Amino acid sequence: MKLRVLPLAISCVLASSMTMASGAGSVLNPVKAEVSASVAHWNDDKAEMDAFISELISKMTLKEKIGQLDLQSGNRNVTGPFINEAYEQQIRDGHVGAVFNAYGADFTRHLQTIATEETRLGIPLIVGHDIIHGHKTIFPQSLGEVASWDLNVAKMGARVAAREATADGISWTFAPMADLTRDPRWGRVSEGAGEDVYLATKMSVARVQGFQGEDLGEKDTMMATAKHFVGYGLSQAGRDYHTTDVSDYELWTTQMPPFKAMVDAGVATFMTSFNDLNGIPATGSKFLLTDVLRDQWGFEGFVVTDYTAVNELVPHGFARDDKHAAEIAFNAGADMDMVGLSYITYMEELVAEGKVSEEKIDESVRKILEMKWRLGLFEDPFRYSDKARAEREILSEDNLELARDAARRSMVLLKNDSQTLPLNADKINSIALIGPLADNKSDIIGNWAAAGDRKTIPVSVKEGLEARLNDDVTINYATGATHSYIADAETVEMKTKVGMVAYTTADNPQLEKDFKAAIEAAKKSDVIVLAMGEQERMSGEAASRVELGLPGNQVELMKELKKLNKPMVLVLMSGRPNDLRWEDANMDAILHTWFPGTSGGHAIADVLFGDYNPSGKLPMTFPRSVGQVPLYYNMKNTGRPYDAENENQRQEHYKSRYDDSPNTPLYEFGFGLSYTTFHYGDVVLSSNELKMNDDELKVTVKVTNTGDYAGEEVVQLYTRQLVGTTTRPVKELKGFQKIHFEKGESKEVTFTLTAEDLAFYRGDMSWGSEAGDFHVFVGTSSDKVQKAEFKLVD
């Protein structure tokens, strides 16, 4: 009997509601998970669901059960090493439980029709896609969203993405990525949440709430995925897919908290990471996938591997062959195999040999079918393939405006000498708009842009300025330079790609022409605006770099333009911290726009001309050079600390310092300028003591807008524990508030600290607080703060 659209009639069903996994008994609770009081829920009819799924599983053959554990890629995108072109036939054979890289109402309806009408039991598919920072309306690159320090920006970006994607046939996204990293060489920093565990946790939870909404049963919500579990962001040498070496302290202190918080927030699925962890590849780690995730934290969704991660246990040297890899991964707790075909190829043999139990297969199948129930797929498998809703929702004016607002909120003003910005259209007659990203639609939406259009819909910088200025200001445009390592493979060859040489105009006659055109455009203009940075493919997966400077011949062109002695504004696009030493020393203003998305050109024009006052703050430290990496604000102190501000230490040799560089970064974590200025008063504490139990410490500072513009300020709270049973960081972010100030306005900003906020993994690896002396800091960035002191007492 084939199951059709409606669930089976089940008698004597008891009404019940599902309780979210709380993680009771966990030793980990370092960061509160809530962005708001509400928490996503999955369904209110668990008893009915359980009975339905039990009956369905009883009808399934072993082959059909194994098919539910298989995820295959469609051909709408290429996001990994290969695509299995036979996946449609495998759906007909009942060997596929879910597909990804498939979208469009008609195409996904086609796939669901095969699953529900051409298979014995008619079990619908889950359809997934990498909806990372937008579906077709593309929001800023994920790291840029974090730079907004605005939880509503992260939540709304995910909400819009879910509304568009679910109308286009998709019910599952492989986001958010919560891997913490301090290494900008790693390309996937663009997809993550920065270097700080507190900020990353808050942003990751906000994104889960945006994707999943209040109820997965609603047609415009989708399953989120907590990825990559865990430690991927610490890949050695910043090289993607590389090994990791993570201490227990580091693992539990910086890597685990965002994932635990997403469990508490009701995230539907987890994805394994590619890396090994202390010698055990994450995809084969029972400790991670079962002992921690399920037994300790109480996670009730299902676990999917990353792309071919099961097969990769073999080159890791952890499995003899793909069959052995399937045995290891499944028994460790990986419910679904992404693309690698290991489960459907070998699982029957493994069951026959007694190496995998059918009972365990039933458990994994149940978790996957539960999500299909919660998504409403058994009620209506075509509910997400809604052409009419897609036409209304996708790229709507409201969505484009929300993306524009998110983009300008994410931008970080890194330099602004002599109030070069904002530009005043009434005082300039012409602008030289120069650079490979100036009239570029493809790169402006960044990497992992899902189904985003790269040819017609995105608003380029040139188009944004033209729309803002009309004919009031002349725009003299020239490409000028290339932002790729390879301009002409036949003449420059691969040596340029690996950074052995930089372009010069002698490498290619066309480059000389481009230089001359740019210089001529600049000569007849009042201001030079440079739209420069990385090609979008230089950030993201498999996009690691050993050099962080701007690629191609962009710096060479800027050096030539500098000779004209005209105001120069750098509009920088990239997905990572870059080496900007020359730019910082020579530009009059630098605006980091990340990759701002579909409405990026409008947002950039808004900021350049003061229609929006930039308010973004850096979510990652910008080093002076690659040689400082890894570099991050919440480092541990050393037994021989070096303080460059201390006159007595400046020339000391036997200190923790470089001979050829300051220790300090170029731009610190939390840094970001405004067109206005803010003055911070003294930090005032409600008491000089905080008691361990049931006590609160109020931390208050008066902040005043002392400049000429209204604007927003991110007020940041940090603490430091001076002595502990483990060494403590020099600062730890414990709170932030993004607040709007009118010109001349003052506000008292108050934070509340409890002993739980000061908890950490102590010397015996137990979680808790320790009495002692603390510093508390409030300021505009991690290194520009006002300080006060208090004691935590028993």
Which strands, in side-by-side order, build the sheet including 711-721? 689-691, 784-793, 772-781, 711-721, 732-741
Which neighbouring-strand residues pair with 685?
699
pTM exceeding the 0.85 threshold for the entire prediction = yes
CB 531 within 8 A of CB 563: no
Residue with tokens 């992404």: 338
Q: How many CB atoms lie within 10 A of CB 341?
A: 20
Distances (CA, A) of 28 to 754, 768, 792: 17, 10, 21
Cα-based angle 220, 147, 484 (whole degrees, multiple of 5): 95
Pairing mode of beta strands 412-416, 337-338? unpaired
E strands in 152-224: 172-173
> HSE-up of 430 (CA within 13 Å, CB side)?
13
CATH of domain 676-794: 2.60.40.10
Copy the structure tokens of residue 534. Answer: 């990385």
- Domain spans in the chain, listed from the N-terminal domain onward: 72-390, 404-608, 676-794
Q: Is the pLDDT of residue 473 over 70?
A: yes
> CA 55 to CA 50: how far, in whole Å?
9
CB 33 within 8 A of CB 264: yes
> CA 122 to CA 314: how far, in whole Å?
35
pLDDT for residue 32: 31
For 684, counting Cβ atoms within 10 Å of its Cβ (0-12 exposed, 13-18 middle, 19+ buried), the class is middle
CATH superfamily of the domain spanning 404-608: Glycoside hydrolase family 3 C-terminal domain (3.40.50.1700)
Model confidence pLDDT, tens digit, residues 84-115: 668 889 999 999 999 999 999 999 999 999 99
DSSP string, 559-603: HHHHTT---EEEEEE-SS----HHHHHH-SEEEE--S--TTHHHH
Active site residue 306: yes
> CA 38 to CA 42: how far, in whole Å?
13
Q: Is the pLDDT of residue 20 over 60?
A: no
> CA 414 to CA 736: how far, in whole Å?
20
What is the band of 450 on the pLDDT scale with cuts at 50, 70, 90? confident
**Helix residue ranges, H only, 563-707:** 581-586, 600-608
Instruction: Report how far Cα 138 is from the mean position of its chain's Cα atoms.
Output: 14
Model confidence pLDDT, tens digit, residues 292-318: 999 999 999 999 999 999 999 999 999
What is the band of 76 on the pLDDT scale with cuts at 50, 70, 90? low
Model confidence pLDDT, tens digit, residues 671-687: 999 999 999 999 999 99
> CA 576 to CA 184: how far, in whole Å?
6
Model confidence pLDDT, tens digit, residues 649-674: 777 889 999 999 999 999 999 999 99
Which neighbouring-strand residues pair with 477?
433
Residue with tokens 């994450």: 282
Which neighbouring-strand residues pair with 717?
735, 778
Pairing mode of beta strands 678-680, 697-705? antiparallel
Copy the structure tokens of residue 357. Answer: 């139990």
Q: What three-state secondary structure class fits 742?
A: coil
> CA 193 to CA 201: how far, in whole Å?
8
Pairing mode of beta strands 276-277, 684-685? unpaired
Model confidence pLDDT, tens digit, residues 176-210: 999 999 999 999 999 999 999 999 999 999 999 99
Considering only CA atoms, which of 532, 554, 529 is closest in space to residue 475? Answer: 529
Q: How far apart are the first and last CA of the chain?
A: 67
Distances (CA, A) of 625 to 12, 348, 594: 68, 53, 19
Cis peptide before 509 (omega within 30 of 0): no
Q: Which of 264, 306, 337, 507 is catalytic?
A: 306
Distances (CA, A) of 480 to 439, 444, 491, 520, 531: 11, 18, 19, 10, 10
DSSP state of 619: S
Mean pLDDT of 426-438: 97
> CA 27 to CA 752: how far, in whole Å?
24
Copy the structure tokens of residue 105. Answer: 């109402």
Q: What three-state secondary structure class fits 483?
A: coil
CB 246 within 8 A of CB 275: no
Model confidence pLDDT, tens digit, residues 211-255: 999 999 999 999 999 999 999 999 999 999 999 999 999 999 999
Q: Is the pLDDT of residue 40 over 90?
A: no
Q: What three-state secondary structure class fits 612?
A: coil
Model confidence pLDDT, tens digit, residues 367-396: 999 999 999 999 999 999 999 999 999 999
Domain 72-390 matching CATH 3.30.70.120: the answer reads no
pLDDT for residue 509: 77
Distances (CA, A) of 657 to 1, 294, 653, 783: 73, 44, 8, 18
